[in-house]
Every structure is written in C-alpha cells, then in structure tokens.
Chain A
Amino acid sequence: MTQTPYEERMLSLIAEAVPARRRKAALDPELSLQRDLGLDSIAMLALLFRFEQAFEVDLSSVDVGLSIGRMRTVADALEVGRQVLARAEQADGT
C-alpha cells in the first residue's frame, strides 16, 4: 500500500514513540496504541508534541485531551493528525 508523505511522516513519529520491547515490523492501522504498542498517556502527549514540532502547528488551539482520547489505534492517530492539520490550515486562511 502506498503511503502519502503525511502518513509516512506520522507513522515514523508513532514508530519512534513505541518502546523497544513493543516494536513491530509494520504499523498496521488497527493496532491499539495502548494495548499493542505500549504507549501510555504521557507517551501519547509526547507524540502530540513531536507532531507539533514536525508539522509546525500550535497545540495551544487543540483540545489535547479530546485528541488523546480519540487516539486508540494507529488509524485513529493518523486521523486526529489530519484533523489538527486541517484546523491549522483553516486558521491560517482566516
């Protein structure tokens, strides 16, 4: 499956956040961030901050709690990231 540049970058951020003992050869979209990949809440927050730096968006305007709550799987994380970027683009355009 071909990945978009966004997906490639985001999956790389997720892979970096996974503890060594839980590393996978591939990050399937349905993998649970907590149960399968061992990301606890602080790791999720760290992931969001890495996302902020990598994509140059400002998390201050994001409901971080809601975002973390929605990030249950790898696919969810990709979707939350997309939504944050779309909101940031909208904000820039106004």
Chain B
Amino acid sequence: MEGAAGKIIDAHCHIASEDHIPRAFVAGGIANLKARLDSQGIAASRDKLTAIYLQKLQDPLCDGLVDEMDRAGIAKSILLAADFTYALDCPISIEESYDKHRAVCERHPGRFEVFGGMDPRWGQQGVDLFQRAVTDFGFRGFKVYPPCGFSPSDHGLFPFYEICAEHRLPVVVHIGPTSPALSFSTGYPFLLDEAARAFPGVNFIMAHGSVSFTEECLMMCAFRPNLFLDVSAFQSAPGDGGAEALRATVSRGINHKVLFGTDWPVFRLQGDQQTFVELATAADGPLGELGEAERALILHGNAERLLAAAAGETG
C-alpha cells in the first residue's frame, strides 16, 4: 500500500448510534442473521443477537471511529446522515441528526465531511433544511436512501439536486437491498438514470456498487460521465471477506469512478477498519495488484476530486 497509508478517504460511514441507525432498521438485519444461524442449528435468541449488535452502535461522538481510522491509516471519513425519519420510527428528527453530525465535525476537526440526507416527502421544509446545512453547516454532499420508499429519480428530489448542482455537491445513492424493514424495489440502479441524465453537472455515487447490481453499476459508470460507485459493504460478499468482489470491481477499467468505503459501523461484527483496509490493500489483495496511480484514485484521489469540486477548489 505504498504511498496511500494516512491518505485514505473512507467515502461511506455512519455515526454508530441508534439516533442515526434506528432500532427498527437494526431489527430487520437481525432477523436475517437469526434465520441463517437457525438454519445451522444455532439457537441464538433475537434479544441476544440484538444486544451483541448494539454493542457496536455506541459511538455517538465518533471517538471510537477516529481511533480505528488512525490505526487503519484513514485520514478522513464521509459521514452519511441517511434520513430514515419519514419511513421508520426514529428517536430524533433529521434536524437533530444534522446537529449531532455537526457536533462530531467540531469535535474532530478535519477528520469528517457530512453528506446530509433527506426524504423528499418532507417537501419544502426538507429543502430549506438541506440548503441551510450546505450554506451554514458546511455539509459537502447529499445522501439519498430510496429503500425508504421512493425512486432516486423522484421529482421531489429535484430541488435537492438543483442545490447540489449549484454548489457542485456529490450525491450518494443507496443501491440494492438493505434492512428488511425497508423496500428493496427502489434499490435498482437504473432508477437513478433519469436523475443522472437530468443533472449532468451533479456527480452521483452509487453506494455498494461492488456487491449490489454490480454489472449494472459498472456499466452505468462506464457510460454516464457523472456516475461513480463506492465499494462499501464489500465485506458482505460471501466466502473471503469481500476480496473477490473488490477484485472484480477494480478490474473493469473504471477505476477513475470507484471510491473506497466501508459502511462503518454496519460490519463491525466482522472486524475493524484496519482489517478492512488490509484486506483491500494487501500486496496480494485486490488493490495491491493495481498500479500505484489507480490504487491512489480508489483509496483517496476520486473522493478528493469530488470533495474539492464541492469546496469550489477546482474550475
């Protein structure tokens, strides 16, 4: 991993707290886990699995995440404030969630950027809050979570995309399945195409493109200039910790469109940030086999380029 350690940008993280990842969301994931363990004859109760998982959601100020970033050589992480507040029972409002994300940024200067999420059904109130988050709070991108029940090309999102176009902010769009508490039918990447075509000046990042609808995501990245993908959730690929999924993604000639990401804290039961970085960057690992320039693009260069545009640093 020559030259990359200490510069890595994790393009896909969340604050590890039930404030931002609500209990209803977690319960869906636990149901899947329990079904798989049950099939192996392991009697782990739902309560026990939930307790084990919730151990990993106790880092509301991101002190633990910063420790892990330091050990893994991650300079900066992008915190995605997904808005579940319309679709699920949540302990705090999206406005309060934004405030807590701001507090994390103030506590750890230079270590985080925030992409604010908003369910389009909040209407003008949501647009106004997102606008304020961009101009007053310094948020550097938009997070869209279609499984909450809308298409990423829903016209209710267009006012948000207009703000993103004006400020050159990237938009992260969840792709593929998620907690079974939510809908899978809106996770298909081609649903994003209308918006990507309507807003050619906005860069859209398809989250989890290395494990969900990978062929479609790769094809869209290859042919639509303003589409990117992040590899977060590669850890969910079966068998080898995600190495093969990463290898398949980075061997298709679109590494100027691929961003490294982990989806922390979702996979904390599988390891820490150092584990995931090492898996990706080992000499015989998926990124270790690339040339230095391509590896640098994936680990930090592509994210830097998108963030620099959002900060008005490029022409």
Contacts and interface: CB of A to CB of B under 8 A. Distances in A.
Interface string B229-243: 000000110111101
Contacts of A69: 270-272, 275
Contacts of A65: 55-56, 268-272
A40 B271 contact: no
A40 B40 contact: no
SS class, residues of chain A in contact with chain B: helix
15 contacts: A35-B240, A35-B241, A38-B240, A40-B239, A41-B235, A41-B236, A41-B267, A45-B33, A45-B37, A49-B42, A49-B44, A53-B42, A59-B48, A64-B52, A68-B269
B241 A41 contact: yes
Nearest to B268: A65
A19 B113 CA distance: 41
A11 interface: no
SS class, residues of chain B in contact with chain A: helix
Contacts of A56: none
Interface residues of A, number: 20
B270 A44 contact: yes
Given A46-B40, A49-B37, A49-B44, A64 B240 contact: no
Contacts of A64: 52, 55, 269
B42 A50 contact: yes
Nearest to B47: A60
A34 B178 CA distance: 24
A21 B135 CA distance: 56
Nearest to A42: B36
Contact of B37 (A35, A42, A59, A63): A42
Interface string B171-188: 000000000000000000
> 4 closest A-B pairs (Cβ-Cβ)?
A69-B271, A41-B270, A65-B269, A65-B268
